[in-house]
Amino acid sequence: MSYSWPGNIRELQNAILAAAVDAPRNIGTAHLRQHLSGKAELPKEKGTPLPERIISVLENSVRMTLAQMHADLQVPKPTLHRHLVRMVSDRKIQRIEIAGSVLYVLHGKISDGMNDSFTSRQEQTVTMAREEGRITRQRLADALGVSIRTASRELAALVTQNVLVRDNQRGKLSGYRVLT
């Protein structure tokens, strides 16, 4: 509201179109801020504590990287990282790794909005683990028709993403269950 819009309605239209392309769901001030020429004139929302700002940014998008949050929140990366580590340990948000990228999501939102980033094998693995209560590497390999090594990689990826957790069994009996 406080932006002067020097390009008038055309600048507004262009900013909204560009933000719509970048925003995964709802367009927020952070998305518009990236596409405006007079960024210094925008308010920085400094009155709100940083953890609340992080949660509000994550509510507007399904998942974000540290770099995306840094651009949206305009907070130094070390400060942002320190708060993210604390919020992960407090189980307010989750840190997941997909295809080599570290992403942050609201805690418990993996099952809501993250399935689009799972591979079909990972979706099948989670479904089987939910239905059976737990799953072993051998059971997964047999069900998917893949090697034990491939099944182990799929399970390890889901453990890294905080979707599955190992149970206390050892050796061939060791299994995984869905993290609730």
Torsion of CA 44, 65, 24, 47, to 10 degrees: -20
Confidence of residue 166 (pLDDT cuts 50, 70, 90): confident
Q: Are 127 and 89 in contact (CB under 8 A)?
A: no
Q: Are 19 and 32 in contact (CB under 8 A)?
A: yes
The reply to whether 118-178 shares the fold of 45-108 is yes
pLDDT in tens, 58-116: 887 767 888 888 888 888 888 898 999 898 888 888 887 765 667 888 876 654 444 44
pLDDT of residue 123: 81
- The Cα 157–Cα 154 span in angstroms is 5
Torsion of CA 61, 62, 66, 67, to 10 degrees: -50
Segments making up each domain of the chain, as ranges: 1-43, 45-108, 118-178
Domain 118-178 annotated CATH 1.10.1050.10: no
pLDDT of residue 104: 85
Q: Which of 57-71 are b and which e, b meaning 16 or more Cβ less than 10 Å from the residue's Cβ?
A: bbebbbbbebebbbe
pLDDT of residue 42: 45
**Sign of the alpha-carbon torsion through 154, 172, 179, 87:** negative
pLDDT in tens, 25-57: 777 777 777 777 654 344 445 568 899 988 888
pLDDT of residue 43: 45
Q: Which two tokens stand for residue 132?
A: 């059976």
Q: Are 46 and 10 in contact (CB under 8 A)?
A: no
Task: State the CATH class of domain 45-108.
Answer: mainly alpha
**Scanning the structure block, which residue is given the tokens 């479904």?**
127
Quote the pTM value: 0.41
pLDDT of residue 83: 92
